[in-house]
């Protein structure tokens, strides 16, 4: 269960469903799409945190592909102009910390020319005054800050880094002083607020300094992480049921894609960093060609035939929404008449 509050409201107030887009159409009703709805950008594979539930707690990427070359990103933006419409939203997130990329604000400015909305998902630890000003002038629409505790000591326990928590909160609050247009949201893993008292403290701290606050369910997404130990250390059960294996058709294949740090295009972040299910590379062809290319058609055909588990990467349990299983036969006829 995800709980949230609107800015300035109590924990019992109406949920602020900022993870949902307003007035959404059912995905199956608008397929096929000439233009993808969203693109996820991996500005970097590096991270300054080692959160216990994250892949960064036990592995690091090679130095050769840690940061996205801005020239590749600007090429992507040019490629996106080949589509008949703007994409709805571009996310800067992925497997690393976006604010580590020295040219992130400049890339956001370029993204604003090809996307209706630009979102950055960050741990927020690098949000000093200079970065806040650069983000404001970039035209950023939404920033989502992933918290890892409610004190400096809790941060050290969860992510292996002790921060000045009071300064951290002040930096988040100052974001709204720079620009009233920028939407600021925070979320925290449920293992960090494992009692009613901590939940109330979370909403008390952030209810008046951001546009929405959420408690997110921690799920066992990554291999090599001892989730049983996390349960023991934090006194909170890990919700494996949030990851579904009953979904036979992945919806992401039909409306989204992800850009890796070396120009690779993937159907989703699950297929990154092992180069599995790579659709193509914008170094060699346009994103428009990749979106309309044979490899994506092949994957869509497999999924619409409900043979998702024939693919190793897609055989993982996943936390997808916009389920289109019931329309797979009709969609197959649309995509492969």
In this predicted model, which residue has the larger pLDDT, 319 or 30? 30
Rounded CA separation 317/300 (Å): 18
211 pLDDT exceeds 60? yes
Rounded CA separation 243/221 (Å): 8
- The per-residue pLDDT for 76 is 98
Query: Do the beta carbons of residue 231 and residue 237 sit within 8 Å?
Result: yes
Nearest CA among 311, 332, 312, 308 for reference residue 320: 308
- The per-residue pLDDT for 139 is 93
- The per-residue pLDDT for 239 is 59
pLDDT in tens, 5-45: 333 333 333 334 444 445 567 899 999 999 999 999 999 98
Tell how strand 212-216 and strand 256-259 pair up. Answer: unpaired
Query: Do the beta carbons of residue 36 and residue 256 sit within 8 Å?
Result: yes
210 pLDDT exceeds 50? yes
Question: And the tokens for 219?
Answer: 């799920």
Q: Which residues of 130-154 are buried (b: 16+ CB within 10 A; e: fewer)?
A: ebbebbbebbbbbbbbbbbbbebeb
Average pLDDT, the chain: 84
Question: What's the average model confidence in pLDDT over 266-288?
Answer: 84
- The per-residue pLDDT for 161 is 87
- The per-residue pLDDT for 15 is 36
Rounded CA separation 234/316 (Å): 26
What are the distances in angstroms from CA 21 to CA 17, 117, 176, 192, 206? 8, 11, 22, 27, 22
Q: Which residues of 184-221 are buried (b: 16+ CB within 10 A; e: fewer)?
A: bbbbbbbbbbeeeebbeebbebbbebbbbbbbbebbbb
Place of tokens 């801005």: 70
63 pLDDT exceeds 60? no
124 Rama sector, left if φ>0, alpha if ψ -120 to 50, beta otherwise: left
pLDDT in tens, 224-268: 667 677 777 777 665 555 566 678 898 999 999 999 999 999 998
pLDDT in tens, 73-94: 999 999 999 999 999 999 999 7
Nearest CA among 155, 153, 122 for reference residue 140: 122
pLDDT in tens, 149-198: 999 999 999 888 889 999 999 999 988 776 668 999 999 998 899 899 99
- The per-residue pLDDT for 248 is 87
Stretch among 41-45, 272-276, 330-334 having the lowest mean pLDDT: 272-276
Question: What's the average model confidence in pLDDT over 273-294?
Answer: 89
Nearest CA among 65, 171, 74 for reference residue 114: 74
Question: What's the average model confidence in pLDDT over 331-337?
Answer: 95
Rounded CA separation 199/197 (Å): 5
Task: Please name the residues in contact with 75: beta carbons below 8 A apart, sequence gap of 6 or more.
Answer: 282
- The per-residue pLDDT for 180 is 67
- The per-residue pLDDT for 153 is 95
- The per-residue pLDDT for 13 is 34
What are the distances in angstroms from CA 199 to CA 59, 117, 122? 31, 30, 21
Omega of the bond leading into 208 within 30 degrees of 0 (cis): no
297 pLDDT exceeds 90? yes
- The per-residue pLDDT for 179 is 63
Stretch among 62-71, 95-104, 109-118, 146-155 having the lowest mean pLDDT: 62-71
Question: And the tokens for 184?
Answer: 């600021």
Question: What's the average model confidence in pLDDT over 130-135?
Answer: 91
């Amino acid at each position: 269960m995800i709980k949230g509050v609107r800015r300035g409201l109590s924990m019992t107030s109406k949920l602020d469903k900022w993870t949902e887009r307003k007035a959404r159409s059912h995905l199956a009703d608008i397929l096929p799409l000439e233009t993808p709805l969203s693109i996820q950008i991996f500005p970097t594979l590096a991270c300054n945190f080692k959160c216990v539930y994250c892949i960064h707690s036990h592995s690091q990427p090679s130095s050769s592909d840690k940061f996205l070359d801005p020239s590749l990103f600007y090429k992507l933006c040019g490629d996106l102009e080949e589509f008949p419409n703007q994409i709805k939203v571009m996310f800067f997130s992925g497997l690393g910390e976006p604010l580590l990329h020295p040219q992130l604000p400049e890339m956001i400015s370029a993204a604003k020319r090809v996307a209706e909305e630009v979102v950055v998902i960050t741990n927020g630890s690098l949000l000093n005054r200079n970065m806040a000003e650069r983000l404001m002038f970039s035209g950023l629409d939404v920033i989502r800050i992933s918290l890892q505790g409610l004190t400096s000591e809790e941060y050290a326990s969860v992510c292996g880094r002790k921060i000045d928590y009071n300064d951290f909160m002040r930096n988040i609050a100052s974001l709204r002083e720079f620009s009233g247009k920028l939407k600021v949201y925070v979320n925290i893993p449920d293992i960090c607020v494992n009692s009613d008292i901590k939940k109330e403290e979370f909403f008390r701290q952030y209810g008046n300094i951001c546009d929405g606050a959420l408690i997110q369910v921690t799920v066992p997404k990554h291999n090599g992480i001892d989730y049983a130990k996390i349960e023991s250390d934090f006194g909170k059960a890990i919700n494996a049921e949030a990851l579904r294996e009953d979904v036979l058709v992945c919806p992401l294949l039909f409306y989204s894609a992800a850009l890796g740090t070396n120009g690779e295009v993937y159907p989703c972040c699950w297929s990154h960093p092992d180069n599995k299910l790579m659709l193509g590379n914008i170094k060699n062809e346009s994103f428009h060609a990749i979106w309309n290319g044979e490899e994506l058609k092949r994957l869509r055909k497999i999924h619409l035939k409900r043979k998702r588990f024939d693919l190793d990467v897609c055989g993982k349990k996943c936390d997808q929404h916009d389920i289109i299983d019931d329309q797979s036969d009709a969609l197959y006829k649309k995509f492969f008449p």
